[in-house]
Structure 1
Amino acid sequence: MGQTKVSDIIGLMEEWAPKKFAYDWDPVGLQIGRPDAVIDRVLVTLDVTEEVVKEAAESSAGLIIAHHPLIFRPMKSVRTDTPQGRIVEACIRNGISVFAAHTNLDVAPGGVNDMLAERLGLRETAILTETYVEPLYKLAVYTPHDSVDKVREALGKAGAGAIGDYVNCTYEIEGTGRFTPAEGADPYIGKIGKSEAVEETKIEVVLTASIRSKVEQAMIEAHPYEEPAYDFFVLDQRLEEYGIGRIGKLGRPMSLQEFAEHVKERLGVPVLRVVDGGKPEIRTVAVLGGSGGKYTADAANRGADVLVTGDIDFHTAQDTAALGLSIVDPGHHIERIMVGGVAERLGRAAGEKGLACTFIESGIITEPFRFI
């Protein structure tokens, strides 16, 4: 195994929870440090505090992966007599980089909300609220018969033609291509100034927007023509949808009291707040890590009996009860579930790619509330 760099670990996170999933106000990504820094230990935490940075330094971790961004709003100065300034200073002094995966990790399949849904034992889970749809394109490229296999193979290797559980899906139509090479051209077929008619195959293939540039480059490199003829079309169909929160079914119906006790036990919280929406049984559960007050109507409209989320305010609680939706508020800190989940998944992914790196779960509890 060779040396592992910060950029290698960022690459693993981008494969799982790419920045495109994040809300536009969310400052995810590398916040402190440099991508080419060599590391062999990574500390995973919910929040970056002075205690967490000290823990990272004592553990010889060169990178901290946090769910909540350390630098959430633009800093106008880095004063080391302020709490945030001291954290930045301590990271730089100890050579520790800081990377944040926030709403992108909430949205990502297998991310925070899927971890919470799994911990609560929800079945048949689905996205609560759609936030991102991957645009879908069709590429049509005209290719001489003797190059069809080469071009088709290049498109498949670049990721085009993936539909559900099928790969390398193409549609081909034979026809006649006509062109006249102008002065200065270097034609694969034909002569300067002479009209040519060539039997060609039109290859059609679908692809997502995220790989369009990669597919286009692969096609051009594999195509024999100096100037390939091709078109991209935007499609109405959707291959994959991504979103915030999850909604699913309990294995058996519960009373609100029983379900609340279930949440306490499964998420390891000492106390929680409950709003009774009036339904005699809880069967369908929506869950959203962090502050989910804006999504109460979405949960009610999707048929949820209860929403598990944090930071519910007084008036939102009243309005939600009027909708017939119960709330179980175990606090914002339940997102700490990501510490173990991220460490485990990245450790496995790093091993598969031959990256020599150890992932450490932070032992610092950053819950600011104490319950008396």
Structure 2
Amino acid sequence: MEKKATVNDIIRLMENWAPKKFAYDWDPVGLQIGRPDASAGKVLVTLDVTEEVVIEAAEAGAGLIIAHHPPLFRPLKSVRTDTPNGRIVELCLRHGISVYVSHTNLDVAPGGVNDMLAQKLGLSGISIMEETYREPLFKLAVFTPHDSVEKVRKALGDAGAGAIGEYTHCSYELEGTGRFTPSEGADPYIGSVGKEEAVSETKIEVVLTGSIRTRVEQAMIEAHPYEEPAYDFFVLDQRLEEYGIGRVGHLPEAMSLESFAEHVKERLGVPALRAVDGGNEKIRTVAVLGGSGAKYVGAAIGKKADVLVTGDIDFHSAQDAANLGLSIVDPGHHIERIMVGGVRERLEKDAEKAGISCGFIESAIVTEPFKFM
């Protein structure tokens, strides 16, 4: 039987995909308006939260808006209903609508905004443009009697340890001898109080990320037969997966800057764009970053991109890029609207898997402020 969704149920789905730890420090992501225990009803997905979008959500019977851009970006000193932000808050509270924001964390997340854009442009061999988050990585070694190896190993894997790429429940085992002497007050699984014991044991080793360390440790302790399990955590210097902003990939075939600009217009549905000619004879390697990407010119060059597709390029950044041999195609900030359909599709699938009953709607309100003349 499916469960009726609360706001918190949908937040969990979003944060399993795009956790808040991926967001930049300055970014006010998360639940901005409303309460987590409220009924979600339907969920409206939008790029921006405007008064028109809130009215659209209310008319559709939505109890939650998921937005990419935060409506409350800077701390409020007052909530005046004669200001745009104040009216948004008033409308949301009047209609019982919560607002959740997934911004730079959704840009960074695998399968998020930048991956959506890279795939829409037909890129292959996609990698991140600049690393912004590295998950701490540990190895857990636990010593277990032979008859409990399978139980402990399964508990570790079920808690998320031993996940490497497309593989789960990965572990390594080594047999040895454990020695111990139970003291007064102990309740040993093997042996007697005051008598030294030598027990054949198996050492199980698994890797895990820092975000699940507490969960894995608790699962191991609960599954282990010993009153005081012997185990160690080791900090590893390597990484399992990169997380970062922007994406870099390759076109199926090289093309001129003019042809690539037309390709971007067609694929991203923009009527016009700005371009900077970096002097590339052909465009093959493409860097793409949704939103404002002027400060990532250096990162794109570092990845040997021929062109950077991003929005809000300023005059001096354009000059710098051209002088350094990087072409730029600026289709505007609003190309991030690709997240509306992408988030709706992802949440529908994840909600179904989780047994959560909820309808998801794409906002039809166009929030692009620019007119092309």
Could you tell me the TM-score, scaled by structure 1's length?
0.97
1:298 maps to which residue? 299
Structure 1 residue 295, shift from structure 2 partner: 0.7
1:242 maps to which residue? 243
1:213 maps to which residue? 214
Post-superposition Cα deviations, 1:217-258, rounded to whole Å, max 9, x if no partner, equal 110000111111110001122111111111111122211111
* SS of match in other structure, 1:270: coil
Percent of residue pairs bearing the same amino acid type: 76
Post-superposition Cα deviations, 1:166-194, rounded to whole Å, max 9, x if no partner, equal 33222222222222222322222233333
Name the CA distance, whole Å, in 2 between partners of 1:165 and 1:371.
45
* SS of match in other structure, 2:141: strand
Match status 1:354 vs 2:355 = yes
1:256 maps to which residue? 257
Range with greater deviation from structure 2 (307-316 or 351-360): 351-360
1:365 maps to which residue? 366
Name the CA distance, whole Å, in 2 between partners of 1:163 and 1:341.
26
> Which amino acid in 1 is paired with 2:11?
I
Name the CA distance, whole Å, in 1 between partners of 2:252 and 2:198.
65
Name the CA distance, whole Å, in 2 between partners of 1:274 and 1:170.
51
Post-superposition Cα deviations, 1:199-221, rounded to whole Å, max 9, x if no partner, equal 22211111121211111111000
Name the CA distance, whole Å, in 1 between partners of 2:175 and 2:222.
22
* SS of match in other structure, 2:193: coil
Structure 1 residue 196, shift from structure 2 partner: 2.4
| Structure 1 residue runs of 4 or more that deviate by more than 4 Å after TM superposition | none
Match status 1:78 vs 2:79 = yes
> Which amino acid in 2 is paired with 1:190?
G
2:338 maps to which residue? 337
1:62 maps to which residue? 63
1:42 maps to which residue? 43
> Which amino acid in 2 is paired with 1:287?
V
Match status 1:124 vs 2:122 = no
* SS of match in other structure, 1:264: helix
Name the CA distance, whole Å, in 1 between partners of 2:51 and 2:166.
46
Name the CA distance, whole Å, in 1 between partners of 2:334 and 2:135.
30
Name the CA distance, whole Å, in 2 between partners of 1:184 and 1:73.
58
* SS of match in other structure, 1:38: coil
> How many correspondences in the alignment?
372
1:103 maps to which residue? 104
> Which amino acid in 1 is paired with 2:240?
L
Range with greater deviation from structure 2 (31-40 or 183-192): 183-192
* SS of match in other structure, 1:300: helix
Name the CA distance, whole Å, in 2 between partners of 1:2 and 1:202.
41
Structure 1 residue 35, shift from structure 2 partner: 1.3
C-alpha RMSD of the superposition: 1.3
2:171 maps to which residue? 170
Post-superposition Cα deviations, 1:5-50, rounded to whole Å, max 9, x if no partner, equal 1111111111211112111211111111111111221100001111
Match status 1:135 vs 2:136 = yes
Name the CA distance, whole Å, in 1 between partners of 2:359 and 2:167.
35
Name the CA distance, whole Å, in 2 between partners of 1:199 and 1:335.
58
Name the CA distance, whole Å, in 1 between partners of 2:341 and 2:169.
36
2:201 maps to which residue? 200
Name the CA distance, whole Å, in 2 between partners of 1:9 and 1:86.
25
> Which amino acid in 2 is paired with 1:81?
D
1:179 maps to which residue? 180
Post-superposition Cα deviations, 1:290-333, rounded to whole Å, max 9, x if no partner, equal 00111101111211111000011111111111110011111111
Cα distance change on mapping 1:165 and 1:268 into 2, 3 Å: closer
2:17 maps to which residue? 16
Name the CA distance, whole Å, in 2 between partners of 1:50 and 1:165.
43
Name the CA distance, whole Å, in 1 between partners of 2:306 and 2:201.
58
* SS of match in other structure, 1:39: coil
Structure 1 residue 141, shift from structure 2 partner: 0.7
Name the CA distance, whole Å, in 2 between partners of 1:124 and 1:174.
41
Structure 1 residue 78, shift from structure 2 partner: 1.7
Name the CA distance, whole Å, in 1 between partners of 2:328 and 2:144.
59
> Which amino acid in 1 is paired with 2:15?
E
Structure 1 residue 353, shift from structure 2 partner: 2.2
Uncovered stretches (5+) of structure 2, i.e. residues with no partner: none
Uncovered stretches (5+) of structure 1, i.e. residues with no partner: none
Cα distance change on mapping 1:142 and 1:253 into 2, 3 Å: same
Name the CA distance, whole Å, in 2 between partners of 1:167 and 1:205.
10
Name the CA distance, whole Å, in 1 between partners of 2:268 and 2:202.
58
Name the CA distance, whole Å, in 2 between partners of 1:179 and 1:322.
69
Structure 1 residue 361, shift from structure 2 partner: 0.6
Name the CA distance, whole Å, in 1 between partners of 2:167 and 2:57.
44
* SS of match in other structure, 2:151: helix
Name the CA distance, whole Å, in 2 between partners of 1:274 and 1:239.
37
Structure 1 residue 156, shift from structure 2 partner: 1.5
* SS of match in other structure, 1:248: strand
